[in-house]
Chains A and B, each alone.
Chain A
């Protein structure tokens, strides 16, 4: 099979959410000794990006998004060990620490953002829901994160987004991490007011925002 044809099939497998096919194609690429970083960039990534576009347009919904993200993960599970074996450094798109702020147990939106970032090549540390502000900062320092992503559905926990930035300033860490905020009551104006680096309305826009902020 020609490289281009293989890439097209990989893209299609991700878009249509066919996990075993996505894995078979990854195995085929390994066997054919293809450049695996190119395989990821030209085969799989365009697939997950199209899935995001379909979701934004309202053609795809949460189940399709999750299924495709799972396919991406399954294909990467085959490619990553090969890359490691060959000591090929895949450039991470960026390191992300994400969670829902303390006092808030809502995690559907946060989980979507985490899985879309991960499917798009970001290294994601998901701290879960009801996370203390200090914990975000500790983890970001420990993992040398590029981003701290703060999710809040409630208006009171949204105030935690502001407090987190104040806490970063107190610790002289403001500017060291890019702080992204999201959640139903959040908006761009709020992000600007509290001094966050960005706001995204949905998971796909969050990926685009994070990419833009990484200069990619």
Chain B
């Protein structure tokens, strides 16, 4: 069965936060996470395994910052193909027979002209190299995620299509303002859905920034605009740090879970966690998904 067939059949559960899981296992925050696909693959595998064990139908590769442009910030751009190939392979190694691996493609962290220095061709080149690595490493689908600029998301989509034959999904990240849900660049949720649907994206949605309560409202708004399968991965609220250095998220596990049934009822076909969530969240979400069908 393909991932799209599964989405049509039943609610699908993705994984949760990755960065915090890496840090708990000794990854120095601020370094380049994708390098651990080659240097410490056993750690990355262990995290994927923990999500599959918690009930994820699909996990996302450790390649969120793996575009050639983002890797440049860490001086790792020459390793773009290698790091993405490894990301896909190690996730594939621990994938159960009925599981799926999605290749994660996050934003470049830069802006297109005129706000930034980059051209669409620059972005497409950077994303194509990443997608080629992920595709050669045999991911089942690609997820272009956490996108704050619709133009950039469309660059990633065009680039990925040139080099990968798997389904490509897109999730944008939205802020809630009085007029509704908008990306950093001012793309409304309605505009993103319309353009992505027009581009033939088979599943669309949102992740990050919003907590699960706001995400439930966003899913409702998105459902009014599209009949495509919707993906929703909320943060566990906002992070904060105690002066002792302990990180906590404003929502916490129980409050996060309280809104998940509404995320589902409002029309999310694919759910998962984002920043501040971990395998415990996913285990509890798996129970909710099972219960609600």
A62 close to B243 (CB less than 8 A) = no
Name the segment of A23-31, A34-42, A99-107 touching the other chain: A99-107
As a 0/1 sequence over residues 157 to 179 of chain B, the CB contacts with chain A under 8 angstroms (1 = contact) are 00000000000000000010111
B243 close to A184 (CB less than 8 A) = no
The B-contacting residues of A in range 22-73, CB under 8 angstroms, are 57-64, 66-67
B183 to chain A, nearest CB (A): 8
A158 interface contact, C-beta 8 A = yes
* A103→B74 CA distance, assembly (Å): 10
- We find that the number of chain B residues with CB closer than 8 angstroms to chain A is 24
As a 0/1 sequence over residues 2 to 13 of chain A, the CB contacts with chain B under 8 angstroms (1 = contact) are 000000000000
Contact of A156 among B29, B114, B115, B243 (CB under 8 A): B29
B177 to chain A: which residues have CB within 8 Å? 57-58
A90 interface contact, C-beta 8 A = no
- We find that the number of chain A residues with CB closer than 8 angstroms to chain B is 32
A20 interface contact, C-beta 8 A = no
A190 interface contact, C-beta 8 A = yes
A189 to chain B, nearest CB (A): 8
A156 close to B30 (CB less than 8 A) = yes
B186 interface contact, C-beta 8 A = yes
A157 close to B241 (CB less than 8 A) = no
* A156→B29 CA distance, assembly (Å): 7
* A143→B149 CA distance, assembly (Å): 36
A214 interface contact, C-beta 8 A = no
A194 close to B186 (CB less than 8 A) = no
B288 interface contact, C-beta 8 A = no
B184 interface contact, C-beta 8 A = yes
A52 to chain B, nearest CB (A): 15
Question: Binding site of B, secondary structure by majority: helix, strand, loop or mixed?
Answer: loop
A193 interface contact, C-beta 8 A = yes
| CB within 8 Å for A57 and B178 given contacts A105-B109, A162-B243 | yes
A111 to chain B, nearest CB (A): 9
A108 interface contact, C-beta 8 A = yes
B225 interface contact, C-beta 8 A = no
A105 close to B241 (CB less than 8 A) = no
A66 close to B29 (CB less than 8 A) = no
A63 close to B115 (CB less than 8 A) = yes
B175 to chain A: which residues have CB within 8 Å? 58
The B-contacting residues of A in range 133-173, CB under 8 angstroms, are 154-159, 162
B247 close to A155 (CB less than 8 A) = yes
A185 close to B241 (CB less than 8 A) = yes
* A187→B237 CA distance, assembly (Å): 14
Q: Which of A62, A158, A190 has the most CB of B within 10 A?
A: A62
B241 close to A190 (CB less than 8 A) = yes
B123 interface contact, C-beta 8 A = no
A155 close to B239 (CB less than 8 A) = yes
* A194→B30 CA distance, assembly (Å): 21
B239 to chain A: which residues have CB within 8 Å? 155, 184-185
B150 to chain A, nearest CB (A): 12
* A108→B183 CA distance, assembly (Å): 14
B238 close to A185 (CB less than 8 A) = yes
B73 interface contact, C-beta 8 A = yes
The A-contacting residues of B in range 89-138, CB under 8 angstroms, are 109, 114-115
B182 interface contact, C-beta 8 A = yes
B185 interface contact, C-beta 8 A = yes
B26 to chain A: which residues have CB within 8 Å? none
* A63→B112 CA distance, assembly (Å): 10
A70 to chain B, nearest CB (A): 8
**10 A–B contacts from the bound complex (CB under 8 Å):** A58-B179, A61-B186, A104-B30, A105-B73, A155-B245, A157-B29, A159-B245, A184-B238, A185-B239, A193-B243
Residues of A within 8 A of B (CB): 57-64, 66-67, 102-106, 108, 129, 154-159, 162, 184-187, 189-190, 193-194
Residues of B within 8 A of A (CB): 23, 29-30, 73-74, 109, 114-115, 175, 177-179, 182-186, 238-241, 243, 245, 247
In the A-B complex, the 5 residue pairs with the smallest Cβ-Cβ separation, listed nearest first, are: A58-B177, A61-B186, A103-B30, A156-B29, A185-B239
Extra contacts, 9 of them, besides A58-B182, A156-B23, A185-B240 (Cβ < 8 A), are A62-B184, A62-B186, A102-B30, A154-B30, A156-B29, A157-B29, A184-B238, A184-B239, A190-B240
